[in-house]
Every structure is written in structure tokens, then in C-alpha cells.
């Protein structure tokens, strides 16, 4: 299983939120580009980047992300506010290996399908789950869409994978939601990345045993609960 460190950007800085709460961000670095370099030096091959400002539609961190995409030796999957064909094409053209779509997956499935078909294996679906519903708009809202119905639409698309985030565990370091992970694993054939609550090598092993091909690590890395070297070595 691949370990994927996460970099969330708010106001040009590297931050972490807890359960998607924009009102109480913790700032970990002023320059996200330096964080990319640090993760790459520690052995990361792939990094999950989220533009939190774009996700909630308030602004964009495009200049910072473009600088991050120029760093050598690591591949980036970029999420947050990607809601048009132009946005997908621009990120891929700037050097992103994968582009992640979340709100569009729920609100405009035809546009999502069009982007996935136009860019095979480079568009990923974000399944952000809160109270068994799909969260949208930077997790500020939820839509009454059954997860199973949502996932079943994707099966014949040439996706680059699916990212499951259990929002209630996000940033809590209280352990992964293995029950939801097991349910989603049965629903899809795609490579599946899990995010939410992972805080130890044991958590990573349990996520892998539940069928995930990747685990996204955020707060546990920044708070020193686990090092990237330990995580990769697990």
C-alpha cells in the first residue's frame, strides 16, 4: 500500500483542518513548496494537494500550486475547486499527474464523466463522506445522495482511482473508519485511497488489510505522531 502525505493550502500556507472546520486551521508552514521538498526527501513518491480556498469557492492558490508542481522527483494529485473542463486541463497542463474532482462528481456527474473520458487515468473521484452522505463545497454541505448509487455510476469510466475521506475522522487521529472503508471497497474495482483518522503504523496496516491501495496521511505527520519514513516502512 502506498503512503501519500497531504498538503492542504489555505491563504497560501500549509494548514490542517479538523473535520473540515475552516474557522480553526492550524498553520504548519508558510511555504507549501518547502513541505513538498521535505516529503520528497523523506521518500514520498506521491503527494495529495488540496486547495482549500478553491474548494469552498472563496479564492485560489494557483500560483503556489504551480510552483509545487515544478518540484522534481514526486508526483502530485491536486484537489479543491476543480469544477470545469478548463480547470482539469489547466492543472494537468501545469504538471499535475492526477486531478481530483469531488463536488462535480455529485452535482454534475455528466461533466465529471466527460472529464474522465477526455483524460483517461488522470481524473480521480473524491468520495467525501459525512453521516453516510456525500459532502460537497469544501465539505461545507452534504447532498442526500446514496454512496452506493454514486459509486456505481463510475464503474465504466477510465478513472485514475477513488479517494475515500471519512470526514468525521479527518484530523482527529482517532483511527480509521474501517467499516466505511470495507463497504466502499466492495462497491468499486478502482484503486482506492483512504483518508481520515490514521495516526499510527498499526492504523496503516489495518487500512491495507481492509483493501485500500493507498493511505493519505496529514495531521499525524505534522504533529509528529508518526514519521513519513516509519509510515512508508510499514
Whether residue 6 is predicted with pLDDT greater than 90 in this model: the reply is yes
> What is the pLDDT averaged over residues 113-142?
85
Long-range CB contact pairs, 63-71, < 8 A, 24+: 64/9, 64/12, 64/32, 64/33, 65/9, 65/91, 65/94, 66/94, 66/95, 67/33, 68/7, 68/32, 68/33, 68/36, 69/94, 69/95, 69/96, 70/95, 71/33, 71/36, 71/37, 71/40
Question: For 75, left (φ over 0), alpha (ψ -120 to 50), or beta?
Answer: beta
Whether residue 18 is predicted with pLDDT greater than 90 in this model: the reply is no
DSSP per-residue string spanning 94-152: HT-SEEEESHHHHH-HHHHHHHHHHSTTTEEEEEEEETTEEEETTTTEEE---HHHHHH
Among this protein's residues, is 23 annotated catalytic?
no
Whether residue 134 is predicted with pLDDT greater than 80 in this model: the reply is no
At residue 143 the predicted structure's pLDDT band, cuts being 50, 70 and 90, is low
Domains of the chain: 2-233 (3.20.20.70)
Whole-number Å distance between alpha carbons of 150 and 157: 13
Locate 39 and state its grid cell: 516529503
Whether residue 51 is predicted with pLDDT greater than 70 in this model: the reply is yes
Whole-number Å distance between alpha carbons of 180 and 194: 10
- The active-site residue out of 8, 51, 170, 203 is 8
- The active-site residue out of 37, 53, 108, 128 is 128
pLDDT digits (tens, 9 = 90+) for 162-181: 999 998 898 889 999 999 99
End-to-end Cα separation, the chain, in angstroms: 9
Question: pTM for this one?
Answer: 0.95
Mean pLDDT, the chain, integer: 93
At residue 189 the predicted structure's pLDDT band, cuts being 50, 70 and 90, is very high
> What is the pLDDT averaged over residues 23-38?
96
Whether residue 110 is predicted with pLDDT greater than 90 in this model: the reply is yes
Which pLDDT score is estimated for 19? Answer: 81
Which pLDDT score is estimated for 142? Answer: 62
Among this protein's residues, is 8 annotated catalytic?
yes
Whether residue 205 is predicted with pLDDT greater than 90 in this model: the reply is yes
Report DSSP state, residue 4: E
Instruction: Say which residue the cell 486531478 belongs to.
Output: 99
Amino acid at each position: 500500500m502506498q503512503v501519500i502525505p497531504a498538503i492542504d493550502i489555505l491563504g497560501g500556507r500549509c494548514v490542517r483542518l479538523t473535520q473540515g472546520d475552516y474557522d480553526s486551521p492550524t498553520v504548519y508552514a508558510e511555504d507549501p513548496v518547502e513541505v513538498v521538498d521535505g516529503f520528497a526527501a523523506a521518500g514520498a513518491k506521491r503527494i495529495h494537494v488540496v486547495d482549500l480556498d478553491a474548494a469552498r469557492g472563496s479564492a485560489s492558490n494557483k500560483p503556489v500550486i504551480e510552483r509545487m508542481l515544478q518540484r522534481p522527483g514526486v508526483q502530485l494529485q491536486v484537489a479543491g475547486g476543480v469544477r470545469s473542463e478548463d480547470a482539469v486541463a489547466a492543472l494537468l497542463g501545469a504538471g499535475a499527474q492526477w486531478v481530483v474532482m469531488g463536488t462535480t462528481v455529485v452535482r454534475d456527474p455528466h461533466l465529471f464523466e466527460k472529464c474522465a473520458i477526455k483524460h483517461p487515468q488522470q481524473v480521480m473521484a473524491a468520495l467525501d463522506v459525512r453521516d453516510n452522505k456525500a459532502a460537497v463545497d469544501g465539505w461545507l454541505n452534504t447532498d442526500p445522495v446514496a454512496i452506493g448509487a454514486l459509486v456505481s455510476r463510475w464503474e465504466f469510466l477510465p478513472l485514475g482511482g477513488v479517494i475515500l475521506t471519512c470526514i468525521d475522522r479527518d484530523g482527529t487521529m482517532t483511527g480509521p473508519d474501517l467499516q466505511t472503508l470495507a463497504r466502499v471497497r466492495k462497491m468499486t474495482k478502482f484503486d482506492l485511497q483512504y483518508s481520515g483518522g490514521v495516526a499510527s503504523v498499526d492504523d496503516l496496516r489495518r487500512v491495507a488489510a481492509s483493501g485500500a491501495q493507498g493511505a493519505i496521511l496529514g495531521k499525524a505527520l505534522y504533529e509528529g505522531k508518526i514519521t513519513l519514513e516509519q509510515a512508508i516502512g510499514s
